[in-house]
Chain A
Amino acid sequence: MKRTTARTTTPAPRLLIALAALALAFLLLPLIGLLLETPWAQLPALLTTTTATEALRLSIITSLLAAAVATILGVPLAWVLARKEFTGQRLVRGIVLLPLVLPPVVGGVTLLTAFGRRGLVGQYLYDWFGIQLPFSTAGVVMAEAFVAMPFLVITVEGALRNIDTRYEQAARTLGASPRTVLFRITLPMISASLLAGIVLAWARALGEFGATITFAGNFPGVTQTLPLAVYSALEVSRDEAIALSLVLLAVSLTVLVSLRGRFLGSRS
């Protein structure tokens, strides 16, 4: 992708141009609609209601925690998938990628069956420790991490496959233990992809709706994140829903723009 100047193209068929324009319009019009309907004058008031500020605070906290969980658990998983060969590897990769294609609401149901009060693990957590994950803020983090982790795993696994492992061998001959190699060679060498994976996972967690509402419910101040607040507001105040949507749109757009630089910009 370094040389873009010497691109030779055949002239585009008119139909293609027309359809491309239609596609762009399809994606752009809802955004324009949102901006046109935004009650700009009341925006400060709408975004400072208790519901809005609590939802925003909760969204930021839970999405950051979910991104942290996805990173701490996802990087080792990506490393194992990229570097080790074991039987059932394809199955494991399938399981890792499943939340990408699974309807989030189904993800929420599966979480309930595992961690609900009568779930596979959840019943013991509750009986023995009194821990109840569903319908709690921790449940929100779990639901978000569940859907966000695959983004991190595939990004990091791809990066781990692409780096030259001989750098790691060189580090070993210089006296570095496997742990030192991981932290001083491997992770720094994939830092750009790792950061991209973390940001993608965080953005996915921030926008999470289906799994959260199924597994954690929709309680203001406890589990009602921004997307859930938008959903609830829609029934009461269209203006508030639009104002909250605008916040999510702004965040998503910022993430995309910063990631675009990461992915397409030249290194160093």
Chain B
Amino acid sequence: MSVTARVITRIGDFAIDAQLEARPGETVALLGPNGAGKSTMLKAIAGLVAIEDGCIRIDSAAVDEPASGTFIPPEHRRVGMVFQDYLLFPHMTVRQNIAFGRKPRKMPADKNNDDDTWIHALDLTDLLDRKPDQLSGGQAQRVALARALATNPRALLLDEPLAALDAATKQTVRGELRQFLQRFEHGSILVTHEPLDALVLADRIVVLEDGRVTQVGPTAEVASQPRTDYLAALLGVTLHRGLATDGVVACETGGTLIASTSITGSVIAVIRPQAISLHTHKPEGSARNVWRTTVTAVEAHHDQMRVTLAGPPQLTAAVTPAAVAELGIAPGQQIWASLKATDIAVHPA
């Protein structure tokens, strides 16, 4: 079933006014920095906090709508939630945890089958008699998922489901979770501050910053066309806001970028660090953007070196360690940088 939420609420001085929708079978990532209001939105959908205005609907029926005085308490919303640190009940075994939300009024045999489906699908058969403190992070995550699904929920909410895992486990579990979410028939909403989680798990991304939605779109589109500084930093690309005149962008922070489009107006230019070439002498070639600039920093970034350039415009180039050694790139050094016009993505903003 689908979930639509327009959440308007305040926590102290912090105001949230944001909306999102998850259609049946779709996974939507709510991506944003810590303190952006993501968890509050998720809690509002689950019914753990009441909104002040707006409306939350599950499959077109309002579950929280202050204007009409509607508030369905969480236990009657049938929304499955997986919490950041899973919150498996410590005094119960895995089996008891999973059975906790089972509806007693249904036929026992029938429901047992339902539970068993998830117990098998999530590979929990051997863990049923363990207590939560005897589980690994990945196992606990699967139990939390099975527990939420045993209630036969109409939507699934996942609050930072991978944050509690170590790096090695994270990768495996992320893959498993993706496979599961693709099979889940109802809408899922995933809260994360980790762009990779959103890129891998979500069909669509809703970006929440400071209580407002700053970008919404299909995952691929948001990844390649980030609209805010926050997102651009996460996705490892350089972003310049500016005013374009026939494809020539005057950057707000100084400098000019020549793009290959004939766009005019307020824009956001996105540059992948890998697209920038560095030279010791003025390059002769097809690149339309050529600057003489100062290196301000050089740092290792995975298997690449990130070279920050003073500009204007300010840029970050990604080159190989060999190139850094060969060109003798060091902070303070004067250097030439070039960038093809076709490598600058310009989006209206």
Contacts and interface: CB of A to CB of B under 8 A. Distances in A.
The answer on A and B forming one complex is: yes
Interface in A186-206: 188-189, 191
Contact of A166 (B76, B83, B101): B83
Interface residues of A, number: 18
Contacts of B47: 172-173
Contacts of A167: 87, 89
A268 B100 contact: no
A169 B74 CA distance: 9
Contact of B87 (A164, A184, A188): A164
A184 B74 contact: no
- A-B residue pairs, 10 tightest by C-beta: A174-B101, A172-B74, A173-B81, A170-B87, A188-B91, A175-B75, A169-B48, A175-B101, A173-B46, A173-B74
A177 B75 contact: yes
A184 B100 contact: yes
A268 B133 contact: yes
A248 interface: no
A173 B48 contact: yes
Contacts of A175: 75-76, 78, 101, 103, 151
A174 B100 contact: yes
Interface of B: 43, 46-48, 73-81, 83, 87, 89-91, 100-101, 103, 131, 133, 147-148, 151
A176 B75 contact: yes
Given A169-B48, A170-B81, A268-B133, A176 B101 contact: yes
A185 interface: yes
Nearest to B80: A173
A174 B148 contact: yes
Interface in A137-196: 164, 166-167, 169-177, 184-185, 188-189, 191
A191 B48 CA distance: 25
A175 B72 CA distance: 12
Question: Is chain B's binding surface mostly helix, strand, loop or mixed?
Answer: loop
Contacts of A169: 43, 46, 48, 74, 83, 87
Interface in A8-61: none
A121 B33 CA distance: 60
Contacts of B148: 173-174
A166 B87 contact: yes
Given A166-B83, A185-B89, A171 B73 contact: no
Given A184-B100, A268-B133, A172 B75 contact: yes
A173 B79 contact: yes
Contacts of B74: 169, 172-173
Contacts of A174: 75, 100-101, 147-148, 151
Given A164-B87, A176-B75, A188-B91, A171 B81 contact: no
Contacts of B43: 169
A189 B89 CA distance: 8
A174 B89 CA distance: 12
A141 to B, nearest CB: 32
Contacts of A191: 91
Nearest to A174: B101
Nearest to B100: A174
Nearest to A163: B90
Most chain B beta-carbon neighbours within 10 Å: one of A164, A172, A173, A174: A173
Nearest to A164: B87
A217 to B, nearest CB: 45
Given A177-B75, A188-B91, A191-B91, A171 B48 contact: no
A192 to B, nearest CB: 10
Nearest to A184: B100
A217 B169 CA distance: 69
Contacts of A166: 83, 87
A83 to B, nearest CB: 15
A4 B76 CA distance: 48
Contacts of A171: 89, 100
Contacts of A173: 46-48, 74-75, 77, 79-81, 148
